[in-house]
Chain A
Amino acid sequence: MSLKHDIEFTLNGVKRRATIDITMNALDMLREVIGLTGTKYGCGEGECGACTIQVDGVSLNSCLMFAVDCDGRNVTTIEGLANDGKGDALRDAFVEHGAVQCGFCTPGMMMQADHLLHKHEHPDEACVKRGLEGNLCRCTGYKKIVDAVVACGAAEATP
Chain B
Amino acid sequence: MTELKHYFAPTSLDQAVERLKDGDVTILAGGTDLTPQSQAGRIKFKHTLMNIRHIPQLSGITLEGREIRIGALATITEIMEHPLIKERLPVLVEACDHFASDQIRNAGTIGGNICNASPAGDMLIPLLVLDACVELASMPEAKIYRHCMPLSTFFVGPGKTRKSLCELVTGVRIPIPEANHVARFYKHGTRPALDISTISIGIAGTLVDGSLSNVRVAFGAVAPTPTRAAQTEQALEGQRLDEATIDKVAAIARDEVKPIDDVRATAWYRKEMIHNITKRILSHVAQA
Contact B7 A49 (CB under 8 A): no
A5 contacts B107, C-beta separation under 8 Å: no
CB-contact partner of B103 in A2, A44, A60, A71, under 8 A: A60
A66 with B35: CB separation less than 8 A: yes
Tell me which residues across on chain B come within 8 A of A5, comparing CB atoms.
7
A2–B192 CB distance below 8 A: no
Across the interface, name the chain B residue whose C-beta is closest to A2: B2
Chain B residues touching A, range:
20 to 34
Q: Is the CB of A59 within 8 A of B35?
A: no
B62-120 residues at the A interface, CB under 8 angstroms: 77, 100-104, 106-107
In Å, the complex CA distance between A115 and B107 comes to 14
Q: Which of A58-73 contact B (CB under 8 A)?
A: 58-61, 63-66, 68-69, 71
Report B8-52 CB contacts with A as 1/0, cut-off 8 Å. Answer: 010000000000000000001011101110110000010001010
B143 contacts chain A at the CB level, 8 A cutoff: no
Report which residue of A23, A63, A71 has the largest number of chain B beta carbons within 10 angstroms of its beta carbon.
A23
With a cutoff of 8 Å between Cβ atoms, the chain A residues found around residue B194 in the complex are 46-47, 133-134
List A residues 109-123 near B (Cβ within 8 Å): 112, 115-116
Select which of B9, B39, B77, B102 is within 8 A of A133 by beta carbon.
Answer: B102
A69→B2 contact, CB < 8 A: no
B31 touches A65 (CB 8 A): yes
Q: Is A22 an interface residue (CB 8 A)?
A: yes
Chain A residue contacts of B4, Cβ below 8 A: 2-3, 22-23
Q: Which of A3, A22, A47, A60 contacts B106 (CB 8 A)?
A: A60
Which residues 68-89 of A have a CB within 8 angstroms of B?
A: 68-69, 71
Interface residue B193 (Cβ < 8 Å from any Cβ of A): yes
Provide the A1-42 mask, 1 if CB < 8 A to any CB of B, else 0: 011010000000000000000110100000000000000000
Q: Which residues of B come within 8 Å of A, CB atoms?
A: 2, 4-7, 9, 28, 30-32, 34-36, 38-39, 45, 49, 51, 53, 77, 100-104, 106-107, 192-194
